[in-house]
Structure 1
Amino acid sequence: MTQPDAPDLPGYVHVYSGKVRDLYAPTLPDGEPDPDRLLLVASDRLSAFDQILDTPIPDKGRVLTQLSLWWFDQLADLVPNHVISTDVPDAVEGRAVLVRRLDMVPVECVARAYLTGGGLGEYRASGHVSGVALPDGLVDGSRLPEPIFTPSTKAPQGQHDQPMPYADVVAEIGPDRAAEARDLTIAILARGNEIAAGRGILIADTKVEFGIDGDGGIMLADEVLTPDSSRFWPADQWHPGRPQPSYDKQFVRDWLLTESGWDKNSGDAPPSLPDHIVEQTRDRYVEAYARLTGASL
Structure 2
Amino acid sequence: MPRRVGASDAGSLRRAVRVAAPNRCAQVSASRPKRLEKSSRSRRTPEASDSLRGVTSSTAIESLDLLSQGKVRDIYAAGDRLLLVASDRISTYDVVHPTPIPDKGKVLTGLSAFWFERTRDICPNHVVSHRDVPGDVHGRAMLVERLEMFPVECVVRGYITGSGLKDYRRSGAICGIELPAGLEESERLPEPIFTPATKADLGDHDENVDFDRAAEILGDRALLEELRRLSLELYGFAARHAEGNGIILADTKFEFGRDATGRIVLGDEVLTPDSSRFWPADGYRPGISQPSFDKQFVRDWATRSGWDKSPPAPALPDEVVASTRALYLEAYERIAGEPFDAWLRRSGA
RMSD: 1.2
Amino acid at match of 1:296: P
Question: What residue is the counterpart of 1:235 in the other structure?
Answer: 281
Partner of 2:199: 154
- 1:142-291 equivalences under 5 Å are 142-173=187-218, 174-257=220-303, 259-264=304-309, 267-291=310-334
**Structure 2, unpaired ranges of 5+:** 1-32, 37-56, 341-349
**Alpha-carbon spacing, 1:263–1:8, altered in 2? closer, same or farther (3 Å):** closer
Counterpart secondary structure, 2:282:
helix
1:40-65 alpha-carbon deviations (Å, 9 max, x no partner): 10010112111111111100000000
What is the CA distance between 1:10 and its match in structure 2?
A: 3.5
2: distance between equivalents of 1:83 and 1:11? 21
Cα separation, 2, equivalents of 1:123 and 1:288: 28
Matched, 1:56 2:100: yes
- Identity of matched residues, %: 52
- CA distance in 1: counterparts of 2:312 and 2:199, whole angstroms: 22
Provide the C-alpha distance between the structure 2 equivalents of 1:40 and 1:157, rounded to a whole number of angstroms: 17
Partner-residue secondary structure (3-state), 1:237: coil
* 3-state SS in 2 of match to 1:108: strand
1:8-27 → structure 2 map (5 Å cutoff): 8-26=60-78
Cα distance change on mapping 1:102 and 1:171 into 2, 3 Å: same
Give the drift of 1:270.
2.5
CA–CA distance in 2 between the matches of 1:100 and 1:169?
A: 25
Post-superposition CA distance 1:146-171 (Å, at most 9, x none)? 00011111111111111110001111
Q: Post-superposition shift, 1:208?
A: 1.1
Q: Structure 2: which amino acid aligns with 1:188? A: L
Q: Residue type of the partner of 1:236? A: D
State whether residues 231 and 250 of structure 1, in contact with CA within 8 Å, keep that contact through their aligned partners in structure 2.
Answer: no
Contact 2:95 2:311 in 1 (8 A): no
Task: Measure the CA separation in 2 of the matches of 1:93 and 1:22.
Answer: 14
How far is 1:269 from its partner? 2.8
Structure 1 residue 6: Cα displacement = 2.8
* Cα deviation code 1:20-78 (max 9, x no counterpart): 1001112xxxxxxx1x2000100101121111111111000000001100011111110
Please say which of residues 120-129 and 243-252 is displaced more in the overlay. Answer: 243-252
Aligned-residue offset at 1:11: 2.6
| 1:156-201 superposed Cα distances (whole Å, 9 cap, x missing partner) | 1111111110001111221121011111111111111110011000
Distance 1:71 1:202 in 2: 16
Report the number of matched residues.
Answer: 286
Q: Name the SS for the 2:144 alignment partner.
A: strand
| Structure 1: runs of 5+ lacking an equivalent | 27-33
TM-score (norm. length: structure 2): 0.80
| Aligned AA (1:179) | E
**Which residue in 1 is equivalent to 2:20?**
none
Aligned letter for 2:227? Answer: A
Equivalent pair of 1:112/1:206 in contact (CA under 8 Å): yes
Q: Distance in 2 between matches of 1:203 and 1:125?
A: 24
| Alignment partner, residue 84 of structure 2 | 40
Structure 1 stretch 132-141 or stretch 180-189: which is displaced more?
180-189
Instruction: Determine the C-alpha separation between the residues in 2 that align with 1:39 and 1:97.
Output: 6
SS of alignment partner, residue 59 of structure 2: coil
The answer on 1:81 being equivalent to 2:120 is no
| Equivalent residue in structure 1 for 2:142, among 90, 93, 97 | 97
**Superposition deviation, residue 3 in structure 1:** 5.0
SS in 2 for 1:23: strand
Once residues 190 and 178 of structure 2 are traced to their aligned partners in structure 1, the CA distance between those partners, rounded to angstroms, is 11
Structure-1 residue corresponding to 2:18: none
| More moved, 199-208 vs 3-12 | 3-12
Contact 2:279–2:290 at 8 Å: present in 1 too? yes
2:252 is paired with a residue whose SS is: strand
* Aligned AA (2:111): L
**Is contact 1:237-1:245 (8 Å) kept?**
no
Residue identity opposite 1:285 in structure 2: Y
Q: Which amino acid in 2 is paired with 1:272? A: A
One-letter amino acid matched to 1:189: Y
